[in-house]
Chain A
């Protein structure tokens, strides 16, 4: 489903030491990229709990980007490896729930890679646009006949109570 009018909402968790600076650099270098990403700065990609990603999706995000320092270059030695393991664990679960893997992407971008980060953002937005809205926040489907069924019970019980004892 591709709809030109669909502008996906993307939440980006960017690490303080590399990727957030890459975003800064992209800004100062006036590199243009898709405006769909709402960036949240975290101290390290290892800080990104799977809860953050699930919460973003359940509150209406169509995609999530997790970005950190390149493997081996983490400010906190190896926490980005931890981010990577969590990412694959989360992807495994999301896949079982029918969520396409392109919706949640893990990106490595150093402080010098403003262009690479901008490209990664463009790619994520294009991927999610091609997939269409996730609509997770609405997706616990409701039964149309629920209200009527509840009214039926109330009415039936009223009738039952009128039977002389």
Chain B
């Protein structure tokens, strides 16, 4: 065997032993990709272990390339973003089929995240607001995006915008979850190392810590008793005392550890981007429970006043990252509402 043939054979063997990695984004902001690239020079180790076969953010690859692959050809797919449109759903189904391991990557794919807050509304009220009601919009003809447009050359299609944003595991089967908005680069690298070493937890589990942010927070905690919840702009908190004790709505007790307590470290309350810890099913319920316990009152009227004054936006506070994945559902059929919490004039209640 000649030297060149030998080299080619070695290269082929190396290529064969290399895994195939895909990174995809659906309804997300791109922060997960930024955080993935935040693993810095370790990206070279990643490239040594994996061929990145599909990642629209950082490499050139087309959907048709993925469609041509055999089922299960991709070893690991890191899928970030929620399922907002028919295109998102198609890609989720396609990548599920082509991947051995599908990871719900980041908060959007695991629990819906900020795009999931739109589940307070439906497609019609989102479109009405975006394309009509905002004061800088001038749309006298009432134009709305259409999924099918007829032109002389034929039909043009746009993805269908869904009424409801779903999480990845509400759409296809998911093998692992990597929470965080975005997942911290160090946690991503730990997960990649675990994947490369084949030391993954049982399928269906979250790759990460099972305790809460409070467990890693350096602030001093004593018995919590508060008479009012404060908004962040109302107070400059003491840097050493528990923020919840100081009346700030800190999501630490209900949030999975893994971020390194970045927000409390800079005197800002935790907002819960890492989702609920292992033993909690519903982030908001866990947080409501924790916050209710610290209210220092036994008088129903006073309790209600404290809650109503201190937490003006309960869904945005308790479900900022998890509405789509939570137990909550819309209270009324969306058709019956006009997007402002009032019944539509035409009636038609369900």
| Contacts from A to B (Cβ < 8 Å) | 1, 49-51, 54-55, 57-58, 71, 78, 81-82, 84-86, 88-90, 92-94, 96-100, 134-137, 139-143, 145-146, 149-150, 152-154, 156-157, 160-161
Contacts and interface: CB of A to CB of B under 8 A. Distances in A.
A50 B315 CA distance: 14
B285 interface: yes
B339 interface: no
Contacts of B268: none
B172 to A, nearest CB: 12
Interface string B310-350: 01011100100000001111111110010001000000011
Given A49-B285, A84-B300, A143-B162, A137 B329 contact: yes
B137 interface: no
A93 B288 contact: yes
B285 A156 contact: no
A9 to B, nearest CB: 15
Contacts of B281: 51, 55
B245 interface: no
B147 A58 contact: no
**A-B pairs, 4 with minimum CB distance:** A98-B331, A149-B86, A149-B160, A85-B292
A96 B63 CA distance: 40
B123 interface: yes
B175 interface: no
B163 A98 contact: no
B162 A152 contact: no
B46 interface: no
Contact of A1 (B90, B289, B318, B349): B349
B291 interface: yes
B270 to A, nearest CB: 18
Contacts of A51: 280-282, 285-286, 289, 327
B157 to A, nearest CB: 5
B103 to A, nearest CB: 23
* Chain A interface helix/strand/loop/mixed: helix
A50 B147 CA distance: 40
A82 B293 contact: yes
Contacts of A153: 86-87, 90, 157, 159
A85 B227 CA distance: 13
B91 to A, nearest CB: 9
A55 B282 CA distance: 9
A65 to B, nearest CB: 17
Nearest to B284: A93
Interface residues of B, number: 58
Interface of B: 63-64, 67-68, 86-87, 89-90, 93, 119-120, 122-123, 147, 157, 159-160, 162-164, 166, 280-282, 284-286, 288-289, 291-293, 295, 297-298, 300, 303-304, 307-308, 311, 313-315, 318, 326-334, 337, 341, 349-350
Contacts of A161: 64, 67-68
A85 B295 contact: yes
Given A88-B307, A141-B333, A153-B87, 7 more contacts: A50-B284, A84-B298, A89-B314, A99-B331, A140-B163, A149-B159, A157-B67
Contacts of A145: 147, 160
B26 to A, nearest CB: 14
A50 B285 contact: yes
B288 A50 contact: yes
Contacts of A156: 157
B304 A88 contact: yes
B327 A96 contact: no
A89 B298 contact: no
6 contacts: A51-B282, A51-B285, A81-B298, A97-B315, A100-B331, A161-B64
Given A49-B289, A51-B285, A141 B122 contact: yes
A96 B315 contact: yes
Nearest to A137: B329
B292 A89 contact: yes
A139 B314 contact: no
Contacts of B119: 140
B292 A86 contact: yes
Nearest to B122: A141
A54 B285 contact: yes
Contact of A92 (B87, B166, B314, B350): B314
B222 to A, nearest CB: 19
B334 A78 contact: no
Nearest to A158: B67
